[in-house]
Amino acid sequence: MLANLYSGALIGIDAYPVEVEVDVSQGMPQFATVGLPEGAVKESKDRVKSAIKNSGFDFPVRRITVNLAPADIRKDAASLDLPVAVGILRATGTLKENARRYLYMGELSLDGRIKPVHGCLAVACEAHKWDIDGLILPQENAPEGAVVDNLPVYPVRDLSEVVGFLNGSQHIEPEPVPEVFDPEVESGMADFAEVRGQQHVKRALEVAAAGGHNMLMVGPPGSGKTMLARRIPTILPRLTFNEALETTKIHSVCGLLAKRDALVTQRPFRSPHHTISDAGMIGGGSYPRPGETSLANHGLLFLDELPEFKKNVLEILRQPLEDGSVSISRASMSLTYPATFMLVAAMNPCPCGYLGDNQHQCTCTPANLERYRNRLSGPLLDRIDLHVEVPRIPYQELSQEHQPESSATIRARVEDARAVQQQRFSNLEIHSNSQMEARHIREFCHIDAEGDKLLEMVTDRLGLSARSYARILKVARTIADLADEKDIRQPHLSEAVQYRSQDRKSV
């Protein structure tokens, strides 16, 4: 007998339908799977056989052929265990014929329990196009599947429950649609009110958050660079639903979505160690997986001790910083992952960390200092909008009783500036000043005669590249937005120029 069922699989973070055909016929006992099965799919026959037997059903001692269509795309996911098992039970008559077309996903334990799988949200987002009546998913994955609210999602715990539901002897309530999306800052999160001093750095962070700009902090050990960076997500604008959906798809594919969570509601904060490989940073492998740049999508990528990262790892950041996406090509496929993130990096001014510090003497030789600075290429520094020095905090600022501004206060100003940008770019495919291209800069970054004269002097004196010139204008546009000014004026440009400290040191 022949049984046809439906499942879903992933290419990158995009889902495609898989038709599972199961044929049980007379002949020598054999279990064959065709349709480019790989890894976990090849091993599924042993899990399926044990799960069926340990759930109290008969496993046919016959020739079993499973076809996974389309046959020209390789499949490597344990999520196909459940549809294969259901197909065998239907082909042998254990399951009644059902007029409803369900999509099945789930990994089987040897005792018949159904384990959670990766990528259910991506499949649920596309499932309404595939002419099915509902999704049967592991209980832990049901909340993320129900987010899309286009098809009923039935949560199941084991194979026996699936059989009872399909035969009509057991009722399963569809997973309720999660509560209204509310990306509020969680209580107990770090807050800028806990940071004493460093007012000019906080101002730079506010500008960076308001325009989505990349930022580099340079300062001695203990000056608070990491502490400041970890609080940036608390002043970034709240995630929109579409941003949360795309971010959750990536985390779901990678298996990083917390148990029973429906959506990622806070902007991601990724802080990889400096020993990370280039594949770990942008994604890769024989079957490419998302890297840290994609996991930080719509959030923050923090690189502490920037010069300690391998040079090739830093250089491959150029494409995502410029394009907002990562393209990975292999012999068998080419994938593109979203990578729209805000880069924040931190570094010491020299190898020993105390260059320019009035409390400690620098012990670095000129040659050591030159090698240290050369670890960061000019093209990479050009792509970082703000370069800010973070000095040691004096005792007077540490001991002051004045309460610093809270993250909520700063976020309110940031969101007001982002609202101005949303209105400005309402008919374009960009959402913040940092994403402007040359044609947008000419249209939206008007400067007066005084500002033009200042910018000419700075460009000639510092020998700025065309990219650095554009970065200054973008940052000045954000500063003007924070001040609720329509045009860019000289004070806005002056402040933007001050955020190019690494360019000033190069002359």
CATH number belonging to domain 436-507? 1.10.8
Q: How far is CA 258 from CA 91, 239, 255, 265, 340, in A?
A: 36, 18, 8, 12, 22
pLDDT given at position 507: 40
- The residue count for the chain: 507
- The 10s digit of each residue's pLDDT in 465-504 is 888 889 999 999 999 999 999 989 999 999 999 998 666 5
Of the candidate CATH numbers 2.60.40.10, 3.40.50.720, 3.30.230.10, 3.90.1280.20, the domain formed by 2-167 belongs to 3.30.230.10
Q: What is the overall mean pLDDT for the chain?
A: 90
Can you give the C-alpha Rg of the chain in angstroms?
A: 28
d(CA 343, CA 324) in angstroms, rounded, equals 11
- State the DSSP H helix or E strand holding residue 68, giving kind and residue range, or none if neither: strand 63-69
The class of domain 192-424 in CATH terms is alpha beta
Token pair for 353? 């960390």
The C-alpha atoms of residue 203 and residue 352 are separated, in whole angstroms, by 27
pLDDT of residue 183: 64
Instruction: State the number of CA atoms in the 13 A half-sphere of 447 facing the CB.
Output: 25
Structure tokens at 69: 């269509």
Residue 79 in contact with residue 13, Cβ under 8 Å? Answer: no
pLDDT along the chain (507 residues), means of 10: 92 92 93 89 93 96 95 89 96 87 96 95 92 94 89 96 95 86 62 88 96 95 92 94 92 85 89 95 86 96 96 93 89 86 95 87 92 90 92 76 87 96 92 93 90 87 84 95 93 92 56
d(CA 22, CA 86): 9
Under 8 Å between Cβ of 29 and 62: yes
> According to the model, what pLDDT value does residue 464 have?
81
Where do the CATH 1.10.8 domains begin and end in the chain?
436-507
Start-end of CATH 3.30.230.10 domains in the chain: 2-167
- How many angstroms separate the CA atoms of 357 and 349, rounded? 9
Q: Cβ distance 71 to 78 under 8 Å?
A: no
pLDDT of residue 180: 55
Residue 489 CA: distances (Å) to CA of 93, 116, 208, 423: 78, 56, 19, 21
Digit-coded pLDDT (tens) for 85-100: 999 999 999 998 777 8
- pLDDT at residue 461, as a whole number: 84
> How many C-alpha atoms does 297 have within 13 Å on its Cβ side?
27
Token couple for 461: 């004196």
Encoded tokens for 448 = 């007066």
Residues of the chain with CATH 3.40.50.300: 192-424
